[in-house]
Every structure is written in C-alpha cells, then in structure tokens.
Chains A and B, each alone.
Chain A
Amino acid sequence: MDFNYDSEQNDLREAVRGLLARAYPDSEQRRAVVAAEPGFDEKTWSRLAEMGLTGLPFDEADGGMGAGPVEVAIVAEEIGRVLAPEPFIEAVVLAGGLVASVGTEAQRGDVLGALAEGGLVPAFAHAEPKARWSASASGVTAVRVGDSWTLSGVKEPVPNGARADLLVVSAAIDGGTGLFLVRADAEGLTRTGYRNHDGTRSAHVRLENTPAEPLGGGGDQTPAIERALAEARIAYAHEALGAMDTALRITAEYLKTRKQFGVTLNKFQALTFRAADMYVSLELARSIALWASMVQEAGGDVVQAADRARLQVSRAGRHIGKEAIQLHGGIGMTAEYSVGQDTSRLTAIDHLLGDGDWALGRLAASVTSYETVDPLGAPYA
C-alpha cells in the first residue's frame, strides 16, 4: 500500500498543473471563457490533447496513452484546482470510457483515436428529465428495423451535449439498456444547449427516429454503464478535491489579509477553527478519493468504492463550499471571486451522477450484509 505518486505521476501532475495555470491564471479568465460558447476553450482542449490527456486512459492500440485511474485522478484534480471547464471527465472518462469498455475494435479505433488527437469531443447522453440517478434508460427507446436501429425520446441534461461531435446514447431495449452512437448530424436529432449554474453547458437532446449505431455487440449494457458512472464518480471526487483545496487555500489566505476591527481576521479563533474544520473535511475526502482510485486500479469493487467516495466528497464539498463563502463575507458571494465559482462547481459535481444522500441510500441498503468495513480487504482489494 502506498498513497504517494511515483515520479512519472508527479511529472504528469506538474505538467498538467503548468498547462492549466497558463490557461486559467485567475478566476476572471475562467469567467471570460465560460461566458462564451461552447463554454470551454477549444485551444486549451487542443493543448490537453497534445499532452496526451484526451487519450490518457485508453489502450495504446486504440490511440491512447494506456494510463490508469491514478493518472486520470491526477488530471481531474488539477482541472478542479482552477475549475477548468474543459469536458475532460465528460468526454474522456465517461463517453470515451464507455466506448473503450464496450465498443468494437473498429469503434474504439475511430472514436478513441480522434478523441485522443483532440479532433472529436464525445458526450454521454444518459440523464433523462423524468429519471433520477440510475444506470438504466427508459425515456429513450431503441427500435430495430432489419439491421439498423433508431432512437426516440429525450435526454436531458446532457453535459456538453450541444457542442459534442458524437453522442453515446443509452436507450431502453428489450431486456435492459443498450448503448448507441449517434452522429452530430444524424437525422431527427435536435440539441438545445444552455448554461448550467457553474458556467459549464448542458443540452436538451431530442431524438426522433434518429439513426444510431449499437456500441459494441449490442444487448444490455447496464453493468458497463454502472461501472463507467462509478469511474466518473471517482474522477469527479478528484476534481472536487482540487476545487476544495483551492477554496480552502484562498480562504486561509483571505483570513490572513482581510482586516476588520483593526486586526486581520485570523486573530478571531472563531474563524480559524472553522478553517481548521474545513481542512479536516478535505483530508478525509482526499483519503477516500485516493483509495477509490486504488480500488479501481486493483480491480476491486469500483461501484461500492465510488459510492463511499461520493458520500464523503459530497459532505466535504458542501461543508467547504459554504464555509469558504461565509468566512469571506460579501466578497465570497460575487461572480468574480473564485470561492463562489468553486462552490457553484462543487454543487454541480454533487448532483451530476448522484449526491451524498443518494450514495448513502445505496450504502445503507447493505449494512447488514457484513460485519465491518475493511478498506484493504474484500470486496475492495
């Protein structure tokens, strides 16, 4: 067991941090980028691709870098640190991850190769307006006519769904949920994009007898979806760590510089203790997020590990986000200042793939089935 990054991983972190620090030197730059379509910076996306990050977890044979979950986590944390709006988790971990795990060799070559090169940004169209967090689909149905398939129904909110060059769509099929590829110019596809509260984008996606290509061999893909969602939850946990780390660092800095009543705010123990509690939340969340990535790498029960990470990070994100604003006073409420942006993003992350109570509900359902939790034993290792 080792919680430290090796030297290559440290190098990766430094390289990503450097790239993103140049792209997003301050919160104003981030604010300017998300103010314009498509809600992220295409140039930064290209630079991420040049660094190999948009193909990071994919096999080299598919055009990727062959890296593992720890590397993905490192990138996600650096993204969170500056709230880079580029859809790394959405396009690479989630949509790309599904193509990697389910797709045929030809699909993997086509999609992942282009994604790795930066020329293609896919999105996973899975959420449905009438469904809560779930691994299955019911609002979009797939119909087979001869050898070809069409999809009908609505997906929303689809992160980055309007900008995406390719949609990976989940749809109800006989006996489960299938996965399909839908091209951006497909017939009967209507996408209406809009801003999320955190500046990123989502879309309403309507499919009307839209031609679609089954991903992989077809059939029920619910387990693969469940797994991809779990891996994305773990990646989001790391993105949240980056955002929480920034929010805490900036808050601590502010307490040292902001003066009221003739002294800097750090003279008030009522406030410094609150910052200390934020640190406690952050470090506990960090431990469990790092652990979840190691479980994933070790081939353990990634779904349950992701639920544990989700719960802890959800609680931590809320705690740190709220306190970061409160300890700043009015300035924390402004769109210009970074802690408000951090809190908004943390709130979005919390609700994208299942919030803390949702994960708690899943964990609660099985507490009587084991005696104690051993994070280093079964089912995790």
Chain B
Amino acid sequence: MRLHLSPEDQAFRQEMRTFFTTQVPQSIRDRVAARRELSKDQMIESQRVLNAAGLAVPHWPVEWGGRGWTPLQRHIWHEEMMAACVPPPLAFNATMIGPVIAAFGNQAQKERFLPPTANMDIWWCQGFSEPDAGSDLASLRTTAVRDGDTWVVNGQKTWTTLGQYADWIFCLARTDPTAEKRQRGISLLLFPMDSPGVTLRPIELIDGGHEVNEVFFEDVVVPAENLVGEENRGWDYAKFLLGNERVGVAPVAMIKRLLASAKEHAREVTVDGVPLAQDPLMAARIAELENELVALELTALRVVANSADGKPHPASSVLKLRGSELQQAATELIVDIAGPLSVASFAEDGSDVPDWARVATPSYLNYRKVSIYGGSNEVQRTIIAGSILGL
C-alpha cells in the first residue's frame, strides 16, 4: 500500500494538466464551466485539438492512435480533462463504436472508419434503444433483411442522443428473427444518417433542450460491407461496447467541479448578511457530499489500480451507481443555493439573476437522465446483486 503517485505518474499528471489548461480554446472551457451547451462546431473543434496531440483516443489499440497507457494513466487523463472543463471526446466515437471496430471490424473497416472517428470527421450516434426495447435491449424489433449484397433496414430507434448532428449511426438490427435466443439474431450495422429512408424527429426534454431524437428507418439500403464483425453476433459487440469503458464511469472530477462552484456560490449568496456557506445545515450538506465523493474517488482509483489485467474489478459496478447519484445530488445542491432565483431559468438580458442560477434547475432536471441511461441504476443493482453477490 502506498498513498503517493509515482514520480512518473506525477509528471504525467502535470503534462496532462498543462495541455488541457493551455491548448484547448478558453471559450470552449468557459462554456463548459458555465454548464452551457456546446455547439456542434465547438465539440468537433475540441476533439480535434485533443486528437492532434494524441489525446482523443488513448485507450484504442496503439496502431489506431492509442497510447498504451496504464489504467491509472487513463484515469489521470480523464480526470485532468474534466477538471480543466475540457469536453471529453464524444463517447459514441471514442468509447463506443471506435473500440468495437478496432476489436471486431475487418481491416478495410478499420482503415475506413477509425481515423475519421478519432478526429470527428464522422460524428456517430448510437442506434440501440427502441420504444419497446429499453432496459430489455434484446427485444429490439428493427429489422435488416438481406437483399443481394445489401441489407434493407426497417424500424425505429429512440433516445438517439445528438442524432441531429450525426453523420453516421451504429445500429442494432434483427437479422435472424428465427434465432432461438433473441440475442443471437442481432447484427451491428453502420450507415450514414442521410441515407434515403432515414428520418429524424426531435424529442424535447424537461429542461427544454433538444438532445435526443426518434429515428425512423424505411427501406434504408445498407451495403453488406457495413456490417461489423459477424452476422448475428451484434449482441456480443453491444455488450463489449457497453462494458468496455471502466475509466470515467464515475465522473469524479466533474462532481468535484460542481461542488467547488456550489461552494463559491454559497459564499456569494448571503442570508441576513451572512454567507450561506456558513449556514450549519448548508455546510453540513456540502461536507457530507464531499465525503461521499472522496469515497467514490478512492473507489475509482482502487478499481483502476487493480484492473491491469484488463478485467474489470468487481467494485467497478458501484461507480456508475453512486457516481450518477452524486452527480444528481450536486446539481440539486446548486438549485438549493440558487434558492428563490432557481425558478428564473429562462431570464434574459436585463435580469439580475446570475447565469449560474438560471442554469441550475434545467441542469438538475436534465441530470435525472444519468441514472436512466447507460444501464439504469436498477440495472446496476441487478448486476451487483446477481454477478457479485450471487443472488
């Protein structure tokens, strides 16, 4: 047991910190710090800055831009990036389809897709969920039927995040309706979002934002060469994709940032001349959250320090569960610090409500999503109870 980072890891951390705080445009980092949405162009620009420095896809195989880092280094990379308010590389590209193509795609697919995926020349969206296939993803009904050397796709996806920006979709479709096990008849297909027969309908969320969509497929023709890996093995790839990333599952640095800004606001807001941060109830609440976060950060470190052989540490399942809860608790805290100003979400010029207070409640409402997507917290508990406790 040893508390300190090794000198190499300390130097690595410094290198990351310097890069993130000096090389990514300040305007982008300011926007992230203000918890305001980035534009499509800003997201692309930021990922390209990272990619040019070899920092967009460090976890990919080395020949495709990976860095061969230790899990701890990847953790440091991720935390420094978040701490500096640098938007992380688009998950659909960097942690989802990229690694799948790298692991299961053929050489032609790797060459065709991996470099533009790392560089955001292709913006990917994830076509998994359907209206009737959420937690029970294997019940998906979108079909792909073979026709000569093409697949013809029909059906509907939903909750497709940022589909409105996407160039391509990676899509699970049923290719063998007769398979005995539902999971066995699913394939993973790649196709452009502007293919004839693809239509997109925006879904407005409770915060008033537009980040998800319904996507409809009507006789969409996909060249056979755009099937990833083997036919009817899409489920395995989907599981690989969802279980692949252990780093950044618990957004520790992001929660830290939220708590730091919460404290800053709580010092500015006064009650009868006394800073709210000195209110014993408020101070106790912040201290409790910080302590929970320390426990989470240490668990994340324990997981990365122990997963050198590539196998996930069993405790990693607590990261998503508790990480999402703490993220939500931190956003709720900021709403309460904003207090009466927290209703004024869409105040405009001329308002005396500071921007952070305007953003507070939409952001809190929006973050209800983090315990729903990417394997809901109920699914996480099912994993802990089943796979770990054997219940």
Contacts and interface: CB of A to CB of B under 8 A. Distances in A.
B391 to A, nearest CB: 12
Nearest to B368: A325
Contact of B205 (A134, A334, A364): A334
A194 B343 contact: no
B149 interface: no
B353 interface: yes
Interface in B369-384: 369, 371-373, 376-378, 381
B348 interface: yes
B285 interface: yes
A129 B372 CA distance: 35
Of residues B206, B285, B339, B378, which shows the largest number of chain A Cβ atoms within 10 Å of its Cβ?
B206
A351 B347 contact: no
Contact of B344 (A194, A262, A322, A357): A194
A196 B346 contact: yes
Given A132-B276, A344-B206, A351 B342 contact: yes
Interface string B310-343: 0000000000000000001000100110111111
Contacts of B271: 132
A335 B204 contact: yes
B159 interface: yes
Nearest to B366: A333
B235 interface: no
A309 to B, nearest CB: 18
B158 A204 contact: no
Which range holds the interface residue count of chain A?
Answer: 35 or more
Nearest to A31: B204
B351 A335 contact: no
Contacts of A132: 269-271, 276, 339-340
Interface string A256-274: 0001111000001011000
Interface stretch (B90-98, B127-135, B165-173): B127-135
A348 interface: yes
A134 B272 CA distance: 9
29 contacts: A127-B340, A130-B270, A133-B339, A134-B272, A154-B352, A156-B347, A156-B351, A192-B351, A196-B344, A196-B345, A204-B347, A261-B136, A262-B136, A270-B381, A329-B135, A329-B372, A329-B376, A330-B129, A330-B373, A332-B368, A335-B204, A347-B342, A348-B361, A351-B335, A351-B342, A351-B343, A353-B340, A355-B336, A355-B339
Instruction: Give the 7 A-B residue pairs with the shortest CB-CB distance, closest first.
Output: A340-B206, A129-B352, A197-B345, A260-B136, A335-B204, A195-B346, A157-B344
Interface of B: 129, 132, 134-136, 139, 158-159, 203-208, 212, 269-272, 276, 279, 281-282, 285, 328, 332, 335-336, 338-348, 350-353, 361-362, 364-365, 368-369, 371-373, 376-378, 381
